[in-house]
Amino acid sequence: MSFKKYSFVAGVLSASLLLATACSSNSTSGNQNSGSKSGKVVVDIFQGKVEIADQLKALTDKYTKEHPNVTFNIETVGGGADGAAALKAKFASNKAPDIFTSQGYQDVITWKDKLEDLSDQPWVKDAYPNALKPMTLDGKIYGQPVNMEGYGFAYNKALFKKAGITELPKTFSELETAAKKLKDAGITPFSVGYAEWWVLANHGLNVPFAYEQSDDQNFISGLNSGTSKIAGNKYFDDYFKLLDLTIKYGNKNPLTTDYNTEVTQFAKGETAMIQQGNWIQPMLDKLTPNMDVGFIPLALTDDPAQADKLMVDVPSNWVVYNKAPEADKKAAKDFLNWMVSSEEGKTALVKDFKYIPAFKTIEAKAEDIGPLGAELQKYSQEGKTYTWQFMKYPDGAGQEFGATLQAYVGGQKSKNDAEKALDATWAKLKK
C-alpha cells in the first residue's frame, strides 16, 4: 500500500501534537559523547520514546558519517509526566537540550519563549498542512511533525483463530463476546498496563471525549465554561464499562503492570489484545519477529458506525531551543531537515522507526511500516478514525485524571465519584 495514495485531509486526521506519550518509565541514553570536542559540534537531543532509542542513535550515526564535524548526545526519558519533569529540570539546571519534543496548542504557548521559529525551513513545504497547525502560533511554525500514529486494541490473529473468533468485534457487545471466547479457550484476553497513567487518562479517556466531540463540537468548550459535565455523560459511563471489561478479562495486577511488561506479555503470546498503538511495532519485531497482528477499535457502544473507528493523529514535534549556541542550532536544523529529505533519513523513518510519515514526500509501504501501521492507513483511508482530544486537556489534568482512574481500577473510587473527580480536576485547572 503506497503512502502516495494516502490523503491527509480534515475529517480524517486533524493534526495534533503532544509530548511523546507512548513511552515506558525507563531512561536510556544514546551517544555518550556529551560536551564539545575540538572542531566538533555536539547536538543534545532529549526525547521520550523508549521504543525508538536505538533507531534514533543509528540515524544520528549515519548523519555523523556525512557530517563528521557533528556528533550527538541522545537522552531518552519515557513515562509521560516523568519525561516532562525531566525536561523542565534540564532547563532549570541550565542543561537545556538543542532538540526536544513538545506538545502543540497550549504547550506551544507555554514553551514559546524557548522555541526557535522554524517557518523558513525547507521541510515546511513538504509537510501536510494540517500537521503544522498545532505548532503554529501567530503565523509562525515552531515544530516539525514527527509522524502519524494511532491506537486501538492491537490483537494477535493466531490467538483469535485459536479461540474460534471468525468475525472481528466492531462493537462493545461483540468485544465482550470475543473476550469470553478467548477466556474459554484458556487465553488471557487483555494485556492491561494501568500502572501507566497515560494509558488510562490520555489514550483510554480520549475515546469518550472523541465520541462526544464528534456529536457536539462544543463539549470541551462547555467544560471550560461550566455548561458541560463528565459526570452522568453516557459516553463516559460507557468508558467505565470498557474499563471493567478489560479488568475482568485482563492479566493480574493491572495497577503494577507497566508499559514494557504489558507489551512483552502481548509479544510473547501470553495475552490476545493490548490497548496500544503502532508505536509498539519495533518492540514486537524485536521480541517476536513476523508476529501476525492487527487492530480492532476501543468500542464503547453497539453502533458499528460509531464504534468501529481507531484513534489516529500526529503525536509529537521536534523543536529547537532558540537560545542554544548558534553552531548547535544550525546543526540541529540541518539534521531535522536531513532526516525528512535525505534518502537515508526517509528510509530509516519508515523501515527502522516504522513511522507513518507526516510528509507527502515520504512514501510508506505496508511492508516497511509493519502490519499495525498498514492497518492504521486502511482505517484512515476509509475515514474510520477519531482524532486525539487529550492534547486539549488543561495543563496537568492528564496526570490527575490518571490518578483518579487508577483509584477506580483499585476500588478506591466508585464510577460516580471518579466522574465527579474528573469534572473537579477540569474545573480546577482550566485556563
Angstrom distance (rounded) from CA 150 to CA 201: 16
What single-letter amino acid sits at 156? Answer: N
pLDDT of residue 80: 63
**Percent helix, strand, coil in the chain (nearest 5)?**
50, 15, 35
pLDDT of residue 15: 33
pLDDT of residue 128: 82
Please check whether residue 121 is in contact with residue 336, taking contact to mean a CB–CB distance below 8 angstroms. Answer: yes
| Degrees, nearest 5: CA angle 379-304-316 | 35
pLDDT of residue 215: 67
pLDDT of residue 9: 31
Task: Please list the pLDDT of the chain residue by residue as tens digits (431 residues).
Answer: 333 223 333 333 333 333 333 443 343 333 333 444 457 999 999 998 888 999 999 999 999 999 999 999 999 997 566 788 899 999 999 999 999 998 777 788 889 999 999 999 999 999 987 788 779 999 999 999 999 889 999 999 999 999 999 999 999 999 999 999 999 999 999 999 999 999 999 999 999 999 998 766 789 999 999 999 999 999 999 999 999 999 999 999 999 999 999 999 999 999 999 999 999 998 999 999 999 999 999 999 999 999 999 998 888 899 999 999 999 999 999 999 999 999 999 999 999 998 988 898 998 888 889 999 999 988 887 889 888 889 889 888 999 999 999 999 999 999 999 999 999 999 999 97
Q: In this structure, is the dihedral angle defined by the CA atoms of residues 125, 128, 130 and 135, taken in order, positive or negative?
A: negative
Q: Which cell numbers in the block locate residue 272?
A: 490476545
Rounded to 5 degrees, φ, ψ at 276 are -150, -175
From 160, 386, 147, select the one nearest 266 (Cα to Cα): 160
Please check whether residue 25 is in contact with residue 258, taking contact to mean a CB–CB distance below 8 angstroms. Answer: yes
Angstrom distance (rounded) from CA 392 to CA 377: 24
Angstrom distance (rounded) from CA 4 to CA 2: 5
Beta-sheet pairing, 149-156 with 293-296: antiparallel
**CB count, 10 Å around CB of 40?**
15
Q: What pTM, to 2 d.p., does this model score?
A: 0.76
What single-letter amino acid sits at 122? Answer: P
**CB count, 10 Å around CB of 7?**
12
> Which structural domains are found in the chain, ordered by start?
3-148+314-361 (3.40.190.10), 150-312+387-429 (3.40.190.10)
From 135, 357, 175, select the one nearest 273 (Cα to Cα): 175
Beta-sheet pairing, 385-386 with 149-156: unpaired
CA 264 to chain centre: 18
| Degrees, nearest 5: CA angle 209-213-219 | 85
pLDDT of residue 8: 32
End-to-end CA distance of the chain: 43
Angstrom distance (rounded) from CA 214 to CA 389: 11
Angstrom distance (rounded) from CA 59 to CA 319: 18
Angstrom distance (rounded) from CA 359 to CA 350: 12
